[in-house]
Amino acid sequence: MKKPSFKLVAIAAALIVVIGGGAVWATSGNSKKPADKEASKPQASLTVTTTKAQSADWPLTMSANGSIAAWQEAVVGSELGGLQLAEVRVNVGDIVKRGQVLARFTNDSVEAQVAQQKAEVEQARAALSEADANAERARTLANSGALSGQQTTQYEVAERSAKAKLMSAQAALDMQQIRLRQTQVLAPDDGVISSRTATVGSVASQGQELFKLIRQNRLEWRAEVNATDLLQIKVGQAVKLKVTNGVVVDGKVRMVAPTVDPLTRNGLVYVDLPVPGSAHAGMFGTGQFVLGSAEALTLPQTAVVMRDGYSYVYQLGKDNKVTQTKVTLGRRIGERIEVASGTNGITPTTVLVEKGAGFLADGDTVRVASEAKPTSASPTPLAMK
């Protein structure tokens, strides 16, 4: 058998190399096309959840600041002077009833004066009995002519004088008995003791303050409201008051002051607070007057981002790209916040980023984890932030 020549073998080997290389090039070229296409897609920067704005009927409110004070504070003082305090029965914070004994003065000297005056009354009563008898005899004898008219008149004058002396002695006795009762300091009304200066052993002067009493334990919030806003406030309106300890107290407008401070142009609004309550006199509070209600377009507060003093939301667009949109905010209730309806196209159908919005920038591509479940935008009883 004739062997193939070296030249034919070399040509065959070259063809095999060329065909193999072409196959490899074709294979490698085809495998790169899907990878390049996948690489050309923008990569998601963050996984987020989405939400939509919801309409709700929200209350219209107006805010104001002011201090809490006693509705009326009674000053309980000493009606007697020069007597020593023997006993003090109440302290600051004690709740008392009308007529309750708060303190007691020593009454030995007053009791002695009462006894002396009783004796003087008895003496005047005896003198009157004698004068009555003399006058009666004089009138009898005058008819018989045994006594002159002048003598009869003298006996009658003596009778009237004795009656006047008895009345004077009785009035003096009544006065001493009043002083005896005044040795006990009584509560003028129901309430709570807010101040005490009475000290056992001290000698009080007449009119000296011993206690202060918040009448009926009633407190009021005195809100300072601008003159232009006073017209919106009516007697009986509901108020939500947030005091310094974080407690929210319900109140009701009792009165709008008839005058406005000419320097500040603010007027006072007096708001009755519940009794008993969590507020205390002297606390500072921020309140909201409920003026009515109006429809609001609301979002969760997590969907709103604050940057450079402005508020933004992120709209989810085509290919999961987000667009940063400036919005105008309004009322806040609980965890939801109002955005101006129609602001830059924000409507109830607009899909917005909720969780994760704070980490996004305009134009970012995101991955949506799941559709947000609708939450109720209707307010529960007015909450304050």
pLDDT of residue 244: 76
pLDDT of residue 246: 76
pLDDT of residue 95: 94
Residues 6+ apart with CB under 8 A from 73: 194, 212, 213, 214, 215
Full strand arrangement of the beta sheet holding 209-215: 73-77, 209-215, 191-196, 95-96
Q: In the chain, which ranges are continuous DSSP H helix?
A: 6-40, 108-144, 149-181
The rounded distance, in Å, linking the Cα atoms of 91 and 106 is: 20
The rounded distance, in Å, linking the Cα atoms of 350 and 315 is: 7
CATH of domain 63-71+216-293: 2.40.30.170
The rounded distance, in Å, linking the Cα atoms of 242 and 332 is: 15
The rounded distance, in Å, linking the Cα atoms of 22 and 181 is: 126
The rounded distance, in Å, linking the Cα atoms of 233 and 269 is: 8
Among 250, 174, 221, CA closest to 69 = 221
Q: Which residues of 148-186 are buried (b: 16+ CB within 10 A; e: fewer)?
A: eeeebeebbebbeebeebbeebbebbeebeebeebbbbe
Reported CATH class of domain 73-196? mainly alpha
pLDDT of residue 381: 47
Assess contact for 50 and 354: CB atoms under 8 A: yes
pLDDT (tens digit, 0 to 9) for every residue of the chain, 385 residues total? 445 555 554 555 555 544 554 444 444 444 444 445 455 556 666 788 888 888 888 888 889 999 999 999 999 999 999 999 999 999 999 999 999 999 999 999 999 999 999 999 999 999 999 998 888 888 877 776 667 777 878 888 988 999 999 999 999 999 999 999 999 999 999 999 999 999 999 998 999 999 999 999 999 999 999 998 998 899 999 999 998 777 889 999 999 999 999 999 999 999 999 887 778 888 899 999 988 888 888 888 888 898 888 888 888 888 888 888 888 888 888 888 888 755 567 888 888 888 888 888 888 888 888 654 555 555 544 544 4
Long-range pairs of 126-132 with CB within 8 A, sequence gap ≥ 24: 127/162, 127/165, 127/166, 128/159, 128/162, 128/163, 128/165, 128/166, 130/162, 131/155, 131/158, 131/159, 131/161, 131/162, 131/163, 132/159, 132/162
Assess contact for 220 and 69: CB atoms under 8 A: yes
Beta bridge partners of residue 294, listed in sequence order: 58
Assess contact for 314 and 360: CB atoms under 8 A: yes
The amino acid occupying position 295 is E
Residues 6+ apart with CB under 8 A from 351: 50, 51, 52, 315, 316
pLDDT of residue 2: 46
Domain ranges of the chain: 48-57+295-368, 63-71+216-293, 73-196
Residues 6+ apart with CB under 8 A from 46: 356, 359, 360, 364, 366, 367
Residues 6+ apart with CB under 8 A from 44: 320, 365, 366, 367
What is the distance in angstroms between the CA of the first residue and the CA of the last residue of the chain?
105
pLDDT of residue 5: 52
The rounded distance, in Å, linking the Cα atoms of 361 and 48 is: 13
Provide the token pair at 262: 């000419």
What angle (nearest 5°) sits at the alpha carbon of residue 324, between those of residues 322 and 328?
A: 135
Note the CATH architecture for domain 48-57+295-368.
Beta Barrel (2.40)
